[in-house]
Structure 1
Amino acid sequence: MHHVLRRLIAASATLILLLSPDAAQAQATMTITGRVTSNGQPLGGTQIGIVELSAGAVTDQQGRYSFIIDPARASKPVSLLARSIGYRPIRRSITLSAGRSEQNFELEKDVLNLETVVTTGVSDATSQKKTTFAVAAVDNAQIKEAPASSPLGALAGRVAGASVTAVNGEPGSAPRIRLRGPTSLTGSQDPLIIVDGTISRLSLADINSEDIERIEVIKGAAASSLYGSDAANGVVQIFTKRGAALAAGQTSVTVRNEYGSNDLRKTVPNNFSHPYKVTAAGEFARDANGNRVQEDDKISDNSYPKVFDQLGNVFRSGQFMTNYISVGQRNEKSNFNASFQNSKDQGIANLLSGYNRQNFRMNLDLELHPKLDLQTGAFYGQSKADASDDSSGDAFFGLRFLEPNIDLLENNPNGTPYKAAIRQTPASGNVSNPLYNWSNIQSLNDRNRFTGTLKVRYRPFQWLTYEANTNFDRGSRELRRYVPLGYIGSTGTVSKGNISSDVDQ
């Protein structure tokens, strides 16, 4: 009887173990949990992981984290690393053993950004101070203090040795960047531009700076040794925002509205004297052909009887406005960030409507399997600009030759506004009335751009990673110009007008 009872007890114990594999598995695994804080406040979005095993987790909004690891994967102490952007990382040595281990961290602010992580020119994320070459980094915290209209503008005054200058004052134009000064007399001096892993040959004026997570810059010969001859003038790599920086389960909504005005800051004083003879009534003395007669000494010491504020007529105080919204979210196995921006810059040129741009961006990360993840992104931007025609004899070029006694607001003989026939002989034939040109000539610049990225990463083993990516960046620009029938030139001649269109893809 006792023998039968012992068999029943043994069979029951075996059955319980078979029905409870989780309990047996829990005894064979190690759960690492804890909380990350800074100045006593929870620090969400902190990455906690074991460096040697490529395993870990991200803290939630309360700063808590937890992940399970098999102790058999390591026979010696391993490093548990806690890292968050803008904070000094902490590395702690632990020994893996079955059961539960609580590891709490208190991170300190990295005021000097000595522990900034960069990826440009290295195979994996590396601390900036550990790279064998100089990598300058500008993060979103610096950019959002004073966002520029383009990514390159965000580098102005923030990267040593980088010169950022405006090509022209036209709204929507991208600035020019030079790293460590000019490098060639005849060749290109532009650095290699990389946006989310895509080498870009198009203008960065289509991308808004609010979408940027960080910018990394490599200057000098190091860039060429890492990226080839295309990077002889340096490398500028731009990373746009993703949801990976958020805490687990966190949703972030950003709304930004900006309004301001642009003005003509400085002007060169005009010359209000002329070298022509004048009559007793103060009018110009003219010869038989109606031309003004110069003084024998040809010295400009005679004052114009009447002068006008031509720069005040041509330029104005132009308003600009930017509306931006972004939504980001991070879940257990996915994260995304989507944004939309509307930007309008009236410009300072009177009568022109300026520049208008709309951008949409979407970045998505997915963990399809513990060993397989996917990153994808899409960007579409369109812009329209009422461009000023600054070709020879027009707009600003002609404004430089105007004499101060010409009234640009005077009507033409046919009653239309802004006097066109303003040439005074003898004088340069390049003179023109910009106001008349802008009110009659339509010069439009339309741009469209689409960018797509896809990256797949597969890790079959701890020491082996396969990575495949494809990128697409395509833009088009259409320049349209319409000169109406009856257009009056600066000498009073009437043209038949013309229509032209130039498409660049």
Structure 2
Amino acid sequence: MKNIGVRLYSIYFLLFFFWVQPTYSQNKPKPIVNATLEGHIIDASTKQPIEDVTVQLDAVTHSVKTDREGRFQFVTGQKLPFKVKLTHLNYKSLSLVIDKSPIVIELNPASKDLEEVVVTGVAQGTSRKKLSFALTKVDQELIGTVPALDASTSLRGKVAGLRIDQSGGNAGASVYLRGSKSVTGEIEPLIVVDGFVTALRLSDLNPNDIESIEVVKGAAASALYGTRGEGGVIQVLTKNGKKEGKLNISIDNELGYSSLLLLPPLSYQHHFKVNPDGSFLLVNGARVIDYKENGFSVNLHPYKDYVDNTKNLLGRTSYFTNSISAAASGEKYNIYLSAQNQHKGGVSPVVDADKRQNILFNLGYRVSPKITADLTTQYSFFNTPSSAVSSRSDGLLYSTLLVEPFIDLSEKNESGKYVYLPKGSNLSGQQWTNPFYRLSNEEYAYQTENLLLGGKLKYAITEHLSAEGALSLQTKQYNTEEYYPKGYQTIVPDVSLNNGNYALRTSKSTSKNGQLQLNYNRRTGNLDWGLTAKYVYEFAS
């Protein structure tokens, strides 16, 4: 019985084995042959490669992006033809069927009104429609609408809530955003240049080098940059040559004049007694008021020798600007170099012209498909004699309005120098200083040097994860020289000035800024989301 049982068990096992094996062989999946789609995406008008184009295959969950050369590679189990959708913030979306590989695809630029890309406060370029805070962007076309001597005046009338305060003379204007105040007064906005936090002012920048300007106001600025942004944030993006392709050299020369449009009304009459020839009637060397018979009203007489000091001394002045720039880009690099020389005529013929020189150098280089590096260098030199013009009682405008129009402030002596007290000064009964005497006898120099060095390194770790490091150094040096020659005259004796005086003052400031940033960006359905971790280091002295 035992032998029979064993044999039956053996037979059942063999039958089961032969029955199972064919079934397994019939259900085994067939191997899948992967297909590779390679392409090159370029601008339809410039034929330049387009970076960061999203390539999405139909019925596939993941996507790829083009590199700096505009190239992409997609590995899939599908066979040709492929249905593909291409999207980019600056270009019109395109859906097409691809039946060959490799392939070259051209994209047309999108309307600026539809998709305006910004970079302030976000980890990467983002459509302004998708921002969670208010931002104003001024592009190059608006900046160049009206020629401006510096970037501070290029925003005039282009940003709501922005006030430009130019106190006088040739000094660069101060820019304030509405609502940015403290107990000590208004707060100037933080100036960020190409992502580098600086201590610069807009008046330090050459408007010809600017690609666009982005302005963030209110709590959003503080949230992005902390207490540094309590006065708002203005980010200036300079040109980098990415869109140029072959070498492009631009030369720009501007010549213009500035003059007073509205002159304050002046008095043409006085209330002193006159001689038959119209000159002042002097009694003991002083003028006498000409009262009417009622004893309190006065008779008015025209000035015999009338001088319009305001018109003559604050007249038209000239300015000119010479600029040259060179830009180029290739498969692995983009470069922009510019230089500017500016001459702004003094606020008066007695004041020398303000001069400024700017140099900007931007370089971008693609080390590998995943690593890019950017370098920026900016240098500016200012010599501003107009800083010697006072806004107090010894200033030009105040004096021209205070002094009676029979006194000619532009009177000169035999040697051709302005006199300390012009003719008739003793009759005015007031003590004042002729500002033209001071400005023509005093020697002075006000020089400022700014240097900004910055570098960035970006590494695309994966399709969605990237790391970025940045480091910047800014130095500012201000030198003031003032020399009063021996014999210099003053209303009240001043030994330090009358016997000659030389003063030299120098100040220097240095600021360092570094940051490390890790970005994770992803698209889930119609939702774009991302995470950013940032470490910031700052030092100022």
Which TM-score applies when normalising by structure 1?
Answer: 0.81
CA gap of 1:126–1:366, structure 2 versus 1, over 3 A, is same
Are residues 1:242 and 2:216 paired? no
SS in 2 for 1:129: helix
User: What one-letter code is carried by the residue in structure 2 that aligns with 1:71?
Assistant: V
What does residue 136 of structure 2 align with? 136
What does residue 280 of structure 2 align with? 284
Contact 2:117/2:127 (<8 A) preserved: yes
User: What one-letter code is carried by the residue in structure 2 that aligns with 1:350?
Assistant: P
Contact 2:42/2:49 (<8 A) preserved: no
What does residue 364 of structure 2 align with? 365
SS in 2 for 1:435: helix
**1-structure distance, mates of 2:173, 2:37:** 54
Q: What's the Cα RMSD here?
A: 3.2
**2-structure distance, mates of 1:438, 1:461:** 64
CA gap of 1:501–1:203, structure 2 versus 1, over 3 A, is farther
| 1:176-191 map, 5 Å | 176-180=174-178, 183-184=181-182, 186-191=184-189
**2-structure distance, mates of 1:442, 1:300:** 45
CA gap of 1:392–1:498, structure 2 versus 1, over 3 A, is farther
CA gap of 1:221–1:78, structure 2 versus 1, over 3 A, is farther
Task: Compute the displacement of 1:125 (Å).
Answer: 0.9
| 1:48-197 map, 5 Å | 49-50=53-54, 55-57=65-67, 67-72=71-76, 79-82=85-88, 84=90, 88-90=91-93, 92=95, 100=101, 102=103, 104-105=105-106, 107=108, 110=111, 113-170=113-170, 173-180=171-178, 183-184=181-182, 186-197=184-195
Task: Compute the displacement of 1:69 (Å).
Answer: 0.8
Contact 2:89/2:126 (<8 A) preserved: no
What does residue 18 of structure 1 align with? none
Task: Compute the displacement of 1:466 (Å).
Answer: 1.9
CA gap of 1:179–1:92, structure 2 versus 1, over 3 A, is farther
Task: Compute the displacement of 1:309 (Å).
Answer: 2.4
What does residue 20 of structure 1 align with? none
SS in 1 for 2:215: strand
What does residue 37 of structure 2 align with? 30
**1-structure distance, mates of 2:299, 2:212:** 56
Sequence identity of aligned pairs in percent? Answer: 28
Contact 1:50/1:78 (<8 A) preserved: no
Contact 1:254/1:326 (<8 A) preserved: yes
**1-structure distance, mates of 2:164, 2:354:** 21
Judge which range, 68-77 or 208-217, deviates more.
Answer: 68-77
Any gaps of 5 or more consecutive residues in structure 1? 1-25, 60-64
Task: Compute the displacement of 1:492 (Å).
Answer: 11
Contact 1:262/1:347 (<8 A) preserved: no
Contact 2:354/2:382 (<8 A) preserved: yes
What does residue 426 of structure 2 align with? 424
CA gap of 1:368–1:298, structure 2 versus 1, over 3 A, is farther
User: What one-letter code is carried by the residue in structure 1 that aligns with 2:501?
Assistant: N
Aligned residues: 458
User: What one-letter code is carried by the residue in structure 2 that aligns with 1:311?
Assistant: T
User: What one-letter code is carried by the residue in structure 2 that aligns with 1:210?
Assistant: N
What does residue 461 of structure 1 align with? 462
Are residues 1:481 and 2:485 paired? no
**2-structure distance, mates of 1:355, 1:193:** 23
Contact 2:68/2:369 (<8 A) preserved: no
User: What one-letter code is carried by the residue in structure 1 that aligns with 2:256?
Assistant: G
SS in 2 for 1:479: strand
Contact 2:313/2:410 (<8 A) preserved: no
CA gap of 1:339–1:36, structure 2 versus 1, over 3 A, is closer
**1-structure distance, mates of 2:204, 2:374:** 22
**2-structure distance, mates of 1:180, 1:455:** 33
**1-structure distance, mates of 2:268, 2:492:** 23
What does residue 211 of structure 1 align with? 209
Task: Compute the displacement of 1:356 (Å).
Answer: 1.2
**2-structure distance, mates of 1:303, 1:421:** 23
**2-structure distance, mates of 1:262, 1:45:** 45
CA gap of 1:255–1:53, structure 2 versus 1, over 3 A, is farther
Judge which range, 70-79 or 257-266, deviates more.
Answer: 70-79
Task: Compute the displacement of 1:464 (Å).
Answer: 2.5
Any gaps of 5 or more consecutive residues in structure 2? 1-32, 56-61, 509-541
What does residue 7 of structure 2 align with? none
Larger RCO (CA within 8 A; separation ≥ 6): 1
What does residue 442 of structure 2 align with? 441
SS in 1 for 2:339: strand
